[in-house]
Chain A
């Protein structure tokens, strides 16, 4: 007979292996060492909650990213409630391709702007600019269409121009 500890051990193993990557990611996103440390723990507690659906090692990191992204974005939202939501009908429609300016935004600037973006734009922008996924990959990760990805990226860039113009790219 054996105690049912497999999932606990698996979490410890994943923590040992991917803890650094997730800690670093949380530090980048939250910009605070103590919050990043707490966040890292929370992420792995959530990993355990969903351990039954954890993929094998090759794709485990991407899966844990997703959990950490959701956690950190929630933390950011909790700390700054100023980001106003955008109603669907306000969403400007863009064609099948985003304007070239979508790709001109750099990673660091995007990271700063994500904090002030409405919730629905945050994750798309993070996956695209910070994690460096392609539009197709963002779409399949979030279960939305590529067209929606393009629309949201375009809106993110449009909004970011206002911020940059108003405040400088601080």
Chain B
């Protein structure tokens, strides 16, 4: 407990709440109960708290939990938005210094693409970026960057004129997963954007080590996860499906 159990003759807020949660140690709980028996003021607070508990559990919790969860999901997207600004800076400096663009795969990208959101681009692209640890910064996953289990990765995709999008992966053990929409059976409609959009999905990498290929699957008609899995199985480096544009990148996952 942070506060003292009794403070200036009465139970602290924390003590009374922890008593309700049955989270005090047995001697503390005894002392708190003894105080309640002898103190009208604290007993009054205890009665109010129990009435609030009933009200909260009967009515408030059920109707507010979905709202809290929805807001949390929204703010995760916002969390990612903030990453975007920070990620543009290292990408820009890499591009300027080396004359190369921090992009990957056959979805060729020009240096202009780095200014996405400002200028927009007609060309489809996929960028993967990652965060390591709790307070870690965002870094772009460019060829040669190694990742680790528990790193979280996110995606920025320019679908250009495509109408359907899926982001899928084949990991170091050859296991296929659909990352966006996470676990989906087929690609999902996407507004032809011509600018990079940040996908809300964030994926925490598991312990499987080795080379993992990530593909953006762009098409005019929906494509099933099975088709994509088969195409990646047949040729992981260069998957093909009729009417589908694959933009692919690969990273190596190593033990920390």
**Are B3 and A137 in contact (CB-based, < 8 A)?**
yes
Within 8 A of B (CB), among A1-54: 1-4, 6-8, 11-12, 15-21, 23-25, 27-28, 37, 40-41, 44-45, 48-49, 52-53
When distances are taken between beta carbons in the complex, the residues of chain B under 8 Å from A133 are 3-4, 7, 12
Given A1-B171, A17-B21, A19-B56; A12-B65 close (CB under 8 Å):
yes
When distances are taken between beta carbons in the complex, the residues of chain A under 8 Å from B65 are 12, 15-16
A151 to chain B, nearest CB (A): 19
When distances are taken between beta carbons in the complex, the residues of chain A under 8 Å from B179 are 1
Of A58-66, A78-86, A87-95, A159-167, the one touching chain B: A58-66
Given A17-B21, A133-B12, A134-B4; A23-B52 close (CB under 8 Å):
yes
A66's closest neighbor in chain B, by CB?
B2
As a 0/1 sequence over residues 166 to 179 of chain B, the CB contacts with chain A under 8 angstroms (1 = contact) are 00010100010101
As a 0/1 sequence over residues 65 to 81 of chain B, the CB contacts with chain A under 8 angstroms (1 = contact) are 10111011101100100
* CA–CA, A24 and B56, complex, Å: 8
* CA–CA, A52 and B75, complex, Å: 14
**Are A45 and B68 in contact (CB-based, < 8 A)?**
yes
Please report the number of residue pairs spanning A and B whose Cβ atoms sit closer than 8 angstroms.
136
Given A20-B20, A37-B60; A131-B72 close (CB under 8 Å):
no
B: residues with CB less than 8 A from A are 1-4, 7-8, 10-15, 17-18, 20-21, 23, 41, 48-49, 52-53, 55-57, 60-61, 64-65, 67-69, 71-73, 75-76, 79, 134-135, 152, 169, 171, 175, 177, 179, 182-183, 201-206
**Are A132 and B203 in contact (CB-based, < 8 A)?**
no
Contact of A37 among B10, B64, B183, B206 (CB under 8 A): B64
Contact of A1 among B10, B68, B169 (CB under 8 A): B169
**Are A61 and B14 in contact (CB-based, < 8 A)?**
yes
Given A59-B2, A130-B13; A3-B52 close (CB under 8 Å):
no
The answer to whether A107 has its CB under 8 Å from any CB of chain B is yes
**Are B72 and A11 in contact (CB-based, < 8 A)?**
yes
**Are B17 and A21 in contact (CB-based, < 8 A)?**
yes
B4's closest neighbor in chain A, by CB?
A134
Q: Which of B56, B75, B152 has the most CB of A within 10 A?
A: B56
Contact of B75 among A4, A18, A48 (CB under 8 A): A48
A160 to chain B, nearest CB (A): 16
When distances are taken between beta carbons in the complex, the residues of chain A under 8 Å from B177 are 1
The answer to whether A158 has its CB under 8 Å from any CB of chain B is no
Given A107-B41, A131-B3; A8-B72 close (CB under 8 Å):
yes
A8's closest neighbor in chain B, by CB?
B72
* CA–CA, A21 and B52, complex, Å: 8
User: 8 extra interchain contacts, Cβ-Cβ under 8 A, other than A2-B204, A4-B202?
Assistant: A3-B202, A4-B152, A8-B69, A12-B65, A23-B56, A58-B1, A61-B14, A133-B12
